[in-house]
Structure 1
Amino acid sequence: MNILITGANRGIGAALLTAAQGRGDTAMGTVRGAGHDTLLPLDVRDPQSCAALAGRLSDTPIDLLVCNAGVYLERGMAADALTDPQLWADTFATNVTGVYLTTMAFLPHLRRASAPKLAIISSQMGSNTRAKGQSYIYRASKSAALNLGRNLAVDLRSEGIPVGIYHPGWVRTDMGTSAATIGTDESSTGLLQRFDALSMDTTGCFEMWNGDAMPF
């Protein structure tokens, strides 16, 4: 299976790439910027960068596209200190617009696969039901990513491309911090199982890494 994973230079993305390759998939990962030995250059915020990588992959079918690249720029900031519009713009550029640009750029590659799938890594912090305050920018961006995924599921249904949206768990990464409850191996293994189970019957799902349904 050909898999493309964005933001695979660290954390969950890197673990997903390793796990997928370890089980025999032809998995490719991306990183922002050039000069990496094993990862493909992709800035998900930049339409030209997306187009360049799509052109580089040419006619390669992609069975699974994982939109994982994300940022949490406001970590440690007080809720009343998030007044810089650029902070909002930069977060949404990666976490939301980046998902859209990546999907649109590689949609032709998905269409070339016999059973294509699209997976979007959101977060439980994007759940409106579980709103707990604070982290306004990140929460809003992950909620928007969830909404985007739900709408893509509707529009891609006629093409037989299921879309799943996932919470990877609270994972011990630079973003999740050392206080998190699970490791990257556990998260990535569970997520791959969720991707494998994704079908037209479950398209539009919002699930945890372990298969539990997440409230919208």
Structure 2
Amino acid sequence: MHVVITGANRGIGRSLYDRYCDRGDEVTGTARSADGFVPLDVTQPDQFANLARAQDGKPVDLLICNAGVYLDKGQSLAEGYPPEMWADSFATNVTGVFLTVQSLLPNLQMTDGAKIAIISSQMASHMRAPGGSYIYRASKAAVLNLGRNFAVDLKGLDISVGIYHPGWVQTDMGGQVADITVDQAASGLIARFDELGPDSSGCFRTWDGQDHPF
């Protein structure tokens, strides 16, 4: 199986990368700047040509859209959330996912039953709206919506799409007081990706297999 993972040089992405390599899969990872990974800053549309060239003619069985940012942690409603922070966050968390899928769509069509896994967050759900983190919440809700629509449009191409909450994970983004380790998140997510198929396409699920309310 050939797996492509964006943002694969650290955090959840790196753990996923290592685990797929350990089980013998062919793995392509991307990173803005890191040795051994395909160079890709998902906020720079012209760089997607590099990704497409690197995968030219190669089937992709599983695309994991993992690259993401949480820039507005701790921002003040009265004085924070500057417009450029909105633009940068959506460029990574939403537009970057769209362009990744668009760039690799020919590769996904080269294999039967290809899959796309999009890392969103429980903070995307309208059921979890305690205030704050407006940009991150809005961007993750947008990519949840994007994934749901991909599932509809790609059904006819035999490509399944799942959207996932990875848990509150002990990473630079989640902090060391978070609930679960990177390895726990990665193990759970891989199990979810393995079970993804046409019958569950469009799902929004947690790392441990629970259906999450939209």
For the criterion TM > 0.5, the same-fold answer is yes
Q: Spell out, residue by residue over 1:166-216, the C-alpha distance to the aligned partner (whole angstroms, 9 max, x if none).
A: 000000000000010100001001100100000000000000000001000
Aligned counterpart, 1:111: 109
Per the alignment, residue 11 of structure 1 pairs with: 11
Q: 2:197 maps to what in 1?
A: 199
How far the C-alpha of 1:19 sits from its partner, in A, is: 1.0
**Could you tell me the TM-score, scaled by structure 1's length?**
0.96
Q: Which runs of 5+ in 2 are unaligned?
A: none
SS at match of 1:71: coil
| Contact 1:79 1:135 (8 Å CA) reproduced | no
The answer on whether the counterparts of 2:59 and 2:111 sit within 8 Å (CA) in structure 1 is yes
- Matched with 2:100 is 102
Q: Are 1:89 and 2:87 counterparts?
A: yes
* Match of residue 208 from structure 1: 206
Aligned to 1:32: 32
- Alignment: residue pair count: 214
1:1-216 → structure 2 map (5 Å cutoff): 1-33=1-33, 36-216=34-214
- Aligned-pair CA distance for 1:95: 0.2
Q: Contact 2:112/2:158 (CA < 8 Å) preserved in 1?
A: no
Would the aligned equivalents of 1:45 and 1:101 in 2 still touch at CA under 8 Å? no
Provide the aligned C-alpha RMSD in A: 1.0
Give the deviation of 1:144 after TM superposition: 0.2
Counterpart of 2:41 in 1: which secondary structure?
Answer: coil
Q: Deviations over 1:74-126 (max 9, x none)?
A: 11222333341101000000000000000000011100112210000000000
Aligned equivalents of 2:31, 2:202: Cα separation in 1: 27
2: CA distance, partners of 1:50 / 1:129: 34
% of aligned pairs identical?
A: 55
SS of structure 2 residue aligned to 1:112: coil
